[in-house]
């Protein structure tokens, strides 16, 4: 066989047998970043020098978060275009793409524009100050918190309606109900605490008020995530299932991060467990980027001449 045809055969084989999709690249990149982040944590614990952690989260960690948010938005927009007007999942994906746009805006605000790092182009502006950075951060938290969660909850509701219409909507199990009840009690407890604080003369700022719906919205999202998980379980492992399971995992990780923040603030979680909060957002962002990537891969495989391997 001539050398050129051997090379061409090799290229064809590489394309057919070893063609990592976007999802594989996201998983690989996230695993490498988490490994590097944990190495930075170990270096900090051994040396006692916090610059290890700061260096990781301020530049490579921030860039990865922005990159994942960009991928989430880009893939969601492409997925939207794969559904025709009037198709039920088109509206759901439009809402999810809206949530992804808010997530990107929030990540840029929190990870880049509100941080005193070399990545921040606003840092050298004459008007930039610590209070300006704080306002940018608060705006980012609102965009990535209640606003994003409203759109995401509406989008996932659309997906659940599709599962119901197809006859594959899952049912909540006893363990799911217990988990939801416990988190419901936590949300109620927080609301009571807030009521007491307001009664004692607390004057919350606009950013704090805007953040109040976050926990109830997370409860709704968790309910949707569990229903999606049960629906996927009912249908069996598949490309489509991977997409919605990724959303469920992302929501579970965001909820975990929220609980860790609360537990750290109230002293329920001892050091070094509080460091869990730093590392939970990266896999959460990866899960939200993976979801549209899996949906896109399923659609692309459906139109390709060879069936996929799940």
Partner 1 sequence: MIRYIDGQLPAGARRRLEAHLIACELCWCKYVQLASAPADVRMDSEEPGMLAKLRGAIRRWESAPPFPSNAALKHRIAGEIEPYLGPRAATSILGRVSDSGDDLLSTVEPVLALFLGSRAASKLVNRVVESVLVRGA
Name the site residues for partner 1 (rule: CB under 8 A).
82-84, 87-90, 162, 165-168, 232, 234-241, 298-299, 301-303, 305, 307-310
Is the CA virtual torsion 166, 149, 222, 245 positive or negative? positive
- Residue closer to partner 1 by CB (options 205, 305) is 305
CB of 155 to partner 1, least distance (A): 15
Query: What are the contacts of 268-272 at 24+ separation with CB within 8 A?
Result: 272/45
Q: Minimum distance from CB of 167 to partner 1 (Å)?
A: 8
21-33 burial: b if 16+ Cβ within 10 Å, else e: ebbeebbebbeeb
Q: Shortest Cβ distance from residue 153 to partner 1 (Å)? A: 20
Which is nearer to partner 1, 239 or 288 (by Cβ)? 239
Residue 270 or 303: the one with the smaller Cβ distance to partner 1 is 303
Cite the DSSP H helix spans in the chain: 3-17, 22-47, 51-58, 60-82, 88-107, 130-142, 148-166, 174-199, 206-211, 214-235, 239-265, 276-302
For residue 82 the two structure tokens come to 């794969």
Closest approach, Cβ 84 to partner 1, in A, equals 5
Q: How far is the CB of 251 from partner 1 (least distance, A)?
A: 20
Rounded to the nearest whole angstrom, what is the least distance from the CB of residue 239 to partner 1 in the complex?
Answer: 6
Q: Tell me if 98 sits within 8 A of 150, measured CB to CB.
A: no
The one-character DSSP state at 84 is P
Question: Smallest distance, Å, CB 65 to partner 1?
Answer: 30
Nearer of residues 36 and 162 to partner 1, judged by Cβ? 162
- Report d(CA 287, CA 248) in Å as an integer: 8
Instruction: CB nearer to partner 1: give 20 or 167.
Output: 167
Task: Please give the DSSP secondary-structure letter assigned to residue 123.
Answer: G
Judged by beta carbon, residue 126 or residue 306, the one nearer partner 1 is 306
**Treating both helix axes as pointing N-terminal to C-terminal, what angle do 214-235 and 148-166 enclose, rounded to 10 degrees?**
30
Between 2 and 305, CB nearer to partner 1: 305
8 A C-beta contact, residue 89 and residue 292: no
Are the C-beta atoms of residues 155 and 93 closer than 8 Å to each other? yes
């Amino acid at each position: 066989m001539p050398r050129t045809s051997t090379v061409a055969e090799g290229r064809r084989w590489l394309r057919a047998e070893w063609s990592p999709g976007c999802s594989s690249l996201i998983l690989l990149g996230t695993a490498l970043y988490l490994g590097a982040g944990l190495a930075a944590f170990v270096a900090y614990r051994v040396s006692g020098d916090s610059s290890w952690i700061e260096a990781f989260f301020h530049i490579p960690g921030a860039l990865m978060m922005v990159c994942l948010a960009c991928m989430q938005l880009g893939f969601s927009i492409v997925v939207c275009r794969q559904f025709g007007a009037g198709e039920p999942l088109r509206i759901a994906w439009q809402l999810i793409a809206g949530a992804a746009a808010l997530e990107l805006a929030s990540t840029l605000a929190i990870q880049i524009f509100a941080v005193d790092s070399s990545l921040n182009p606003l840092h050298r502006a004459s008007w930039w100050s610590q209070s300006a950075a704080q306002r940018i951060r608060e705006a980012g938290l609102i965009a990535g918190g209640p606003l994003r969660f409203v759109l995401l909850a509406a989008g996932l509701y659309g997906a659940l309606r599709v599962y119901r219409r197809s006859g594959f909507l899952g049912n909540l199990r006893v363990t799911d109900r217990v988990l939801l009840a416990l988190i419901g009690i936590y949300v109620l407890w927080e609301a009571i605490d807030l009521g007491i604080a307001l009664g004692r003369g607390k004057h919350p700022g606009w950013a704090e008020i805007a953040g109040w719906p976050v926990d109830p919205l997370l409860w709704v999202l968790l309910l949707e995530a569990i229903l999606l998980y049960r629906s996927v379980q009912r249908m069996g492992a598949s490309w489509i299932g991977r997409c919605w399971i990724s959303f469920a995992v992302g929501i579970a990780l965001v909820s975990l991060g929220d609980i860790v923040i609360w537990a750290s603030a109230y002293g329920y979680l001892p050091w070094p467990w509080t460091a869990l909060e730093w590392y939970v957002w990266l896999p959460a962002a990866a899960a939200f980027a993976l979801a549209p990537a899996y949906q896109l891969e399923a659609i692309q495989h459906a139109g390709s001449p060879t069936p996929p391997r799940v």
